[in-house]
Structure 1
Amino acid sequence: MTAEETGLRIQEALDHLADGEEQGAGEQLVRELMAFYGDGLTRLVRALPPQALGQLLDDPAVAGLLVLHDLHPEDVTARIARALASLPEPVEQLGFDPGTGGLRLRRTRSGCGCSEQDIEAALACHAPEVTAVELDRAPQLLQIGTRPPASAEVR
């Protein structure tokens, strides 16, 4: 289960507690559990050798937990690059605006490949700071062929 899926399930549970004091109790429960798990993860991250932690950063569940608890050792730029590198099709980063969370990307080749949903899912795990993706299409190449036959020429 991904961090995003877990977050959605927790939000659904909290929505069921939306009446009166139950909602406050549910939110308090989530805060306490987050603090408990965050403290334990902090201790684990500090105890791991950097190489061992580095090997875990491509795992979506581990990356999601580290980002959620502000323990990921990479900055947002490196995490965006890591997410894009995990895609089956090369995608070029054109720019990221931390103020708006907008990320501009361009496919580096035309044709079938990963969908925008694939890109957004990878970014949600590694770089949840990205809140909007603008995907520019690769320019289409002009195909130059031979001259039409003489009988097809306009007179």
Structure 2
Amino acid sequence: MSAPTATRPVDAEQTGRRVEEVLDRLAASGDPAAAEAAEELVRSLMDFYGSGLARVLHLLSAAPGDPLAGLLADELVASLLVLHDLHPEDRDTRITRALDSVREHALDVVDFDEESGALTLRTREAGGCGCGSGDSAREAARAALACFAPEVRAVDVQTAPAGPTLLQIGTAPTGAR
């Protein structure tokens, strides 16, 4: 488990003025499309952080025991913590948490390549119907990992090898033939 990164103090009023100055500079640049895009970006970020903070307050008020457990299990809050390198769990723990949220796909971690960010998973069930169930598992894992472990940039799902075919050898009861 890594320790949360210490954040530097931020003056809210000063930050607000700086955002306004940047938006004003973009508006004065004569490119209305750039100014509109910047304003939309600021609105989107404000919505994202506002939703995250609202969720934090809700989870803290509803948590009877360990409020941190509720926060870490929430996709929105976890993604905010990871985004700012504040999540107290290490990468492997966060990957496990993400895969636990898609248990119906029964996935196990095979390997993680640090350099490429590729995660290789294997289904616990052998065989499969060949009807795209691997694609469904990959997409479910990808969506969960985006919140809990964004350092995973690619997901490969391998199908578990089929077990040996069992052959029953025995004698039929008398008179069964």
TM-score over 0.5 (shorter chain): yes
1:59 deviates by: 1.5
**For the aligned residues, what is the CA RMSD?**
3.7
Q: How do 1:114-133 residues align onto structure 2 when only pairs under 5 Å count?
A: 115-133=137-155
- List alignment gaps of at least 5 residues for structure 2: 1-30, 58-64, 170-177
Aligned residue for 2:19?
none
Aligned partners of 2:161, 2:45: CA distance in 1, in Å?
Answer: 51
- Counterpart of 1:106, as a letter, is R
1:26 deviates by: 4.6
Aligned partners of 1:131, 1:60: CA distance in 2, in Å?
Answer: 17
Deviates more, 1:70-79 or 1:106-115: 106-115
- Counterpart of 1:119, as a letter, is A
1:71 aligns with 2:93: no
Change (3 A) 1:83 1:141: same
- What TM-score do the two structures reach when normalised by structure 1? 0.61
Q: How do 1:69-148 residues align onto structure 2 when only pairs under 5 Å count?
A: 69-87=84-102, 88-110=104-126, 111=128, 115-145=137-167
Q: Which runs of 4+ in 1 moved over 6 A?
A: none
- List alignment gaps of at least 5 residues for structure 1: 1-16, 45-49, 148-155
Residue by residue over 1:37-62, the C-alpha shift from the partner in whole angstroms, topping out at 9 and shown as x without a partner, is: 6xx79xx8xxxxx9311232112122
Aligned partners of 2:98, 2:85: CA distance in 1, in Å?
Answer: 17
1:82 deviates by: 0.8
1:25 deviates by: 5.0
Contact 2:105/2:137 (<8 A) preserved: no
Contact 2:78/2:148 (<8 A) preserved: yes
Aligned residue for 2:33?
19
1:57 aligns with 2:72: yes
- Counterpart of 1:81, as a letter, is T
Computing the radius of gyration over CA atoms, which structure comes out larger, 1 or 2?
2
Aligned residue for 2:172?
none
SS of aligned partner of 1:78? helix
SS of aligned partner of 1:19? helix
Give the aligned length.
Answer: 126
